[in-house]
Amino acid sequence: MKFLYSPATNIEAHLLKDILAQEGLTCELRGEYLQGGIGELPPMGIVQLFVADDEYASAEKIVKAWEAGEYEIEE
């Protein structure tokens, strides 16, 4: 697995994870349960999104489109 993105919130983390999964990419969230340690841990960059090494390029394109507000969620 390769680090892809550090979402700003848990909601964004799960949205991106679901989007990547819908695109057929293997991904996982790490550090999500560490948020209970705020105060002892730095508040940013705790939750991280990882993808399979061979799917990194495809996942990166999706995240860049997401950040630019260009990703269309199909209903």
How would you write 5-51 as a 3-class SS string?
Answer: ECCCCHHHHHHHHHHHHHCCCCEEEECHHHHHHECCECCCCCCEEEE
Query: What's the CATH fold of domain 2-67?
Result: Alpha-Beta Plaits (3.30.70)
Q: Tell me the whole-structure pTM to 2 decimals.
A: 0.77
What does the DSSP 8-state code read for residue 57? Answer: H
So where are the chain's domains? 2-67
CB neighbour list of residue 38: distance below 8 Å, 6 or more residues apart = none
pLDDT tens string 22-49: 999 999 998 876 655 555 555 556 789 9
At 24, the amino acid letter reads G
Mean pLDDT of the chain, nearest integer: 84
Residue 21 has, within 13 A of its CA and on its CB side, a CA count of 10
